[in-house]
């Protein structure tokens, strides 16, 4: 059916205005909820016209083109696909959701969302439940704002701390990152909302992301970034994968038949659909044949809407088979059936503010990392009566990252510190209204707590000299589409910290950063807390940790290198907002290959400032009686863990495999478990290694293979300092 005449136009308006399914009828057997998603899809596809099929293959920018009106039927989001009311097909309303459901400009009066802590904060919890609850919070709030697709599930590895988008991701390790993001996806989809998994693949730097090519070998790719995606798929079962902007070995991510068709859809048997990133499509038939199923907002972000007229002509001429078109539509419909878009359409409902706050604060409390605590300066003792808080706009709020993931409207309002540059894309710079100053005052009403803005280091030092303890808050803003020029704290904050520490030997530094930074003042500062971007309850969470109301249990998901000299690419031309050199268009990841982060440090004999997995507690823990059993690809370690301190707390038992010569990586995280214990409590825990972390990927045989030999299992609190070791004999095994 083609809508050409006046009556057809009226019908089209009705279709757009009625985006959600109205229930089953005898003439719509695909609405029978007793049928499986595959059968429902088959029945529905058989009733669709060619025009209706093509309608499913491209989304519109849900905020309107060039500031114009919203597409009819859109609720205001990153992507909108009109529904087909004739067939009961609901509209697709896609919202950005890296660290919470974005609400672009408050399209619907009164709407807001929970600004969640950043991805490294969630990863630092080493707690899959934290990730699941955070995902469920975002999914629930999306559903309550009439979104049925969330553009979350960010699992790109941190290969460089200067990557401007690290705050959306889950660290450097494929096992930890895959588990954390997989659980977040699973949480989102528990709320009848489809989650993406992105950015597929190797979108690990932002500089010239629409043009640069990543160079990396097949084996190294599979043993690093692709393994993280594979684990996230196995755990989270995302409904959609989003292909990336960049090229991989010279081929655009959204035109990459090897990555999309062979690896994702054939070898991993991914049943969902692949959507493009916004501005990531460069062709019609080429992209469709390579495995792309849906173009995102091409009328705004791409050179043309490739999946409209160009793809129609390709199908009509036989360049793209009708079977491929039907497969594209089927993947989308099946995903919508499977995740409740038809049967549990979202409804505009009030957001549960307290539930969102609870999820955000628990993430801050478990995900902030106590990196240093000499002399047990923390938690702040009751005898500490004069406290000065310095810098970081800590009197107003906590900083967040920029770009499409920015949650601009929260229950507490918008920006606590407006006017910080840049104020345009990828800004504005946002400080979420959660004041560490006010939160600490609430926790310590007996203390005199003052604030100094830190703009004048000398004045800050004078204030610090009069206090029992000085707390310096340092911030580093980063954003999508641009990388940081270096690892240095901006705005002369290093000088501020040094001046304060010289004036008061009891100085605590709280970092709110995208990732690791240089710490030239570290020897002067007895206590250091990494709070990442802590979200809408950041102030409250930080105060709870500093006062000991909560015992820190976060562990680093990244290696904290001393400076850029310890990176695989110490100098990268063209980074930052105003680069002094032309930017590169080739990122040679073959330099490190699969040796990302702590593996690179081990391979090169580097000693970082803080090792991957490092983190302190206000308690202490002992490990005894490590035992390991091996049966084929099943390697299981068990150990007694005891809390030897005076406080209840949690420790993260980390299991590493040290590999003999001849393997691509010298050491790998193979399993972990976070255990909560009361003072004096002992528990025996069991950690089963992820089989693929024991194996090497064979790109010729397309298999993961464990090579026979003597390996060393290391149990520790970080990647560099094993507590107990056991030699194990592994046999030649193919992972099934």
Q: pLDDT value at position 5?
A: 35
CB burial string 646-676: b at 16+ within 10 A, e below: eeebbbbbbbbbbbeeebbbbbbbbbbbbbe
Q: pLDDT value at position 18?
A: 39
Q: pLDDT value at position 23?
A: 55
Reply yes or no: is the peptide bond before residue 199 cis, omega within 30 of 0.
Answer: yes
The rounded distance, in Å, linking the Cα atoms of 471 and 449 is: 10
Q: pLDDT value at position 493?
A: 98
Torsion angle (degrees, nearest 10) of CA 301, 305, 307, 309: 180
Domains of the chain as residue ranges with CATH: 16-338 (3.20.20.300), 368-550 (3.40.50.1700), 613-734 (2.60.40.10)
Q: pLDDT value at position 110?
A: 77
Query: Does residue 380 contact residue 555 with C-beta atoms inside 8 Å?
Result: no
Give the N- to C-terminal CA distance of the chain in Å, as an integer: 48
Q: Which residue has the tokens 């820190």?
A: 552
Q: pLDDT value at position 109?
A: 67
What is each CA distance from 379 to 8, 372, 470, 537, in whole angstroms? 69, 12, 13, 19
Residues ≥6 apart with Cβ < 8 Å to 246: 202, 203, 205, 209, 210, 212, 213, 214, 252, 253
Structure tokens of 279? 């501005």
Beta bridge pairs of residue 651: 675
> What is the tens place of the pLDDT at every residue in 205-235?
999 999 999 999 999 999 999 999 999 999 9
195: left (phi over 0), alpha (psi -120 to 50) or beta: beta
Q: pLDDT value at position 104?
A: 58
Residues of the chain whose pLDDT is less than 70? 1-24, 104-109
The helix (run of H) or strand (run of E) holding residue 8 is helix 6-17
Q: pLDDT value at position 38?
A: 98
> pTM, whole model, 2 decimals?
0.95
């Amino acid at each position: 059916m083609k809508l050409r005449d006046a009556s057809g136009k009226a019908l089209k308006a009705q279709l757009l205005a009625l985006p959600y399914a109205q229930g089953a009828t005898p003439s719509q057997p695909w609405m029978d909820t007793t049928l499986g998603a595959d059968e429902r899809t088959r029945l529905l596809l058989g009733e669709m016209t060619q025009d209706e099929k093509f309608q499913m293959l491209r989304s519109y920018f849900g905020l309107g083109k060039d500031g114009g009106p919203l597409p009819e039927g859109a609720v205001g989001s990153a992507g909108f696909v009109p529904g087909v009311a004739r067939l009961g097909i609901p509209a697709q309303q896609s919202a950005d959701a890296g660290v919470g459901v974005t609400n672009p400009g408050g399209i619907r009066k009164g709407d807001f969302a929970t600004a969640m802590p950043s991805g490294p904060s969630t990863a630092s919890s080493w707690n899959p439940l934290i990730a699941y609850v955070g995902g469920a919070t975002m999914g629930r709030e999306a559903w309550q704002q009439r979104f049925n697709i969330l553009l979350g599930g960010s699992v790109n590895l941190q290969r460089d701390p200067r990557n401007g988008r690290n705050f959306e991701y889950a660290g450097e390790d494929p096992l930890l990152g895959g588990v954390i993001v997989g659980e977040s996806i699973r949480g989102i989809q528990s709320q009848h909302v489809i989650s993406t998994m992105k950015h597929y693949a190797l979108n690990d730097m932002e500089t010239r992301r629409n043009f640069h090519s990543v160079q990396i070998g097949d084996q190294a790719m599979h043993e690093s970034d692709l393994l993280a995606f594979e684990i996230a798929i196995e755990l989270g079962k995302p409904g959609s994968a989003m292909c990336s902007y960049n090229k991989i070995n010279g081929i655009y991510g959204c035109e990459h038949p090897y990555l999309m068709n062979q690896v994702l859809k054939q070898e991993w048997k991914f049943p969902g659909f692949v959507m493009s990133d916004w501005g990531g499509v460069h062709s019609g038939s080429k992209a469709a044949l390579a495995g792309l199923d849906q173009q995102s907002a091409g009328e705004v972000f791409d050179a043309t809407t490739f999946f409209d007229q160009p793809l129609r002509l390709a199908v009509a001429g036989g360049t793209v088979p009708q079977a491929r078109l039907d497969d594209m539509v089927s993947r989308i419909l099946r995903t919508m059936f499977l995740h409740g878009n038809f049967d549990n359409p979202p409804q505009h409902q009030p957001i549960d503010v307290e539930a969102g706050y609870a999820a955000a604060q628990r993430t801050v409390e478990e995900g902030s990392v106590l990196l240093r605590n000499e002399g047990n300066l923390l938690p702040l003792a009751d005898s500490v009566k004069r406290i000065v808080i310095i810098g970081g706009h800590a009197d107003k709020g906590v900083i967040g990252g920029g770009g499409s993931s920015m949650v601009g409207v929260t229950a507490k309002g918008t920006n606590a510190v407006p006017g910080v540059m840049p104020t345009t894309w990828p800004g504005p710079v946002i400080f979420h209204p959660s004041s560490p100053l006010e939160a600490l005052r609430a926790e310590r009403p007996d203390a005199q707590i003052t604030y100094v803005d830190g703009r004048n280091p000398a004045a800050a030092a004078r204030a610090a000299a009069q206090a029992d303890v000085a707390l310096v808050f340092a911030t580093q803003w980063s954003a999508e589409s641009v990388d940081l020029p270096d690892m240095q704290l901006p705005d002369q904050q290093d000088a501020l910290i040094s001046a304060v520490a010289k004036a008061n030997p009891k100085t605590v530094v709280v970092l709110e950063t995208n990732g690791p930074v240089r710490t030239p003042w570290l020897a002067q500062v007895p206590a250091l807390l990494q709070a990442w971007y802590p979200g809408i309850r950041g102030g409250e969470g930080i105060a709870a940790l500093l006062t000991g109301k909560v015992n820190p249990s976060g562990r680093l998901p990244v290696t904290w290198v001393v400076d850029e000299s310890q990176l695989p690419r110490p100098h990268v031309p063209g980074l930052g907002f105003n680069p002094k050199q032309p930017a590169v268009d080739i990122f040679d990841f073959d330099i490190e290959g699969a040796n990302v982060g702590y593996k690179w440090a081990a391979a090169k004999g580097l000693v970082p400032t803080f090792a991957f997995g490092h983190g302190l507690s206000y308690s202490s823990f002992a490990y005894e009686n490590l035992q390991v059993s091996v049966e084929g690809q099943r390697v299981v370690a068990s150990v007694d863990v005891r809390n030897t301190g005076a406080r209840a707390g949690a420790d993260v038992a980390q299991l590493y495999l040290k590999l003999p010569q001849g393997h691509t990586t010298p050491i790998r995280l193979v399993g972990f478990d976070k255990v909560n214990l009361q003072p004096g409590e002992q528990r025996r825990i069991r950690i089963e290694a992820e089989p693929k972390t024991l194996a090497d990927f064979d790109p010729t045989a397309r298999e993961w293979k464990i090579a026979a030999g003597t390996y060393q299992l290391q149990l520790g609190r970080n990647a560099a300092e094993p507590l107990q070791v056991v030699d194990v004999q592994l046999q030649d095994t193919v992972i099934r």
